[in-house]
Amino acid sequence: MRVFVTGHRGYIGCHLVDLLKQAGHRVTGCDLRLFEGCEWEPLVPADVDLVKDVRDLTAGDLDGHDCVMHLAAISNDPMGDINPEITYRINRDASINLAGLAKQAGVGRYLFSGSCSVYGAGQKLDLEETDPLNPLTAYAKSKIQTEEAVSKLADDGFTPAFLRNATAYGHSPMLRIDLVVNNLLACAVSTGEIRIMSDGSPWRPLLHCRDIARAFVAFLHAPRERIHNRAINIGAPGSNYQVRDVATQVERLLPGARVTFTGEVGEDPRNYRVKFDLLRSLVPDFKPEYALESGMEELHRKLKDHGFGLSDWQGDQFVRLRTLKKRLDRLGMAA
Ligand X SMILES: NC(=O)c1ccc[n+]([C@@H]2O[C@H](COP(=O)([O-])OP(=O)(O)OC[C@H]3O[C@@H](n4cnc5c(N)ncnc54)[C@H](O)[C@@H]3O)[C@@H](O)[C@H]2O)c1
Q: Are 223 and 291 in contact (CB under 8 A)?
A: no
What is the torsional sign of CA 133, 137, 143, 148? positive
Identify the H or E element spanning 317. Answer: none
Answer for which of 3, 13, 79, 184 binds ligand X (CB under 6 A) is 13
Answer for which of 3, 4, 5, 12 binds ligand X (CB under 6 A) is 12
Q: CB under 6 A: which stretch of 39-47, 162-170, 240-248, 256-264 binds ligand X?
A: 162-170
DSSP-derived secondary structure for 221-266: HS-HHHHTT-EEEE--TT-EEEHHHHHHHHHHH-TTPEEEE--TT-
Strand, coil or helix: 215: helix
Question: In the complex, what is the shortest distance from the CB of residue 59 to ligand X, in angstroms, rounded to a whole number?
Answer: 17
Question: In the complex, what is the shortest distance from the CB of residue 72 to ligand X, in angstroms, rounded to a whole number?
Answer: 4
Answer for which of 3, 68, 140, 168 binds ligand X (CB under 6 A) is 168
Q: Are strands 48-50 and 67-70 parallel, antiparallel or unpaired?
A: unpaired
Answer for which of 32, 185, 186, 187 binds ligand X (CB under 6 A) is 32
Q: Which is nearer to ligand X, 105 or 174 (CB)?
A: 174
72 in contact with ligand X (CB under 6 A): yes
DSSP-derived secondary structure for 54-104: GGG--HHHHTT-SEEEE--S---HHHHHH-HHHHIIIIIIHHHHHHHHHHH
122 in contact with ligand X (CB under 6 A): no
Q: CB under 6 A: which stretch of 6-14, 60-68, 149-157, 274-282 binds ligand X?
A: 6-14
Q: CB under 6 A: which stretch of 66-74, 127-135, 184-192, 304-312 binds ligand X?
A: 66-74
175 in contact with ligand X (CB under 6 A): no
Question: In the complex, what is the shortest distance from the CB of residue 247 to ligand X, in angstroms, rounded to a whole number?
Answer: 18
With CB under 6 A as the rule, give the number of residues binding ligand X: 29
Answer for which of 17, 27, 43, 54 binds ligand X (CB under 6 A) is 54
Report d(CA 301, CA 251) in Å as an integer: 15
Pick from 290, 72, 39, 289: nearest CA to 172: 39
Site of interaction with ligand X (CB under 6 A): 7, 9-13, 31-35, 53-55, 71-75, 90, 113, 115, 165, 167-168, 174, 176, 179, 320
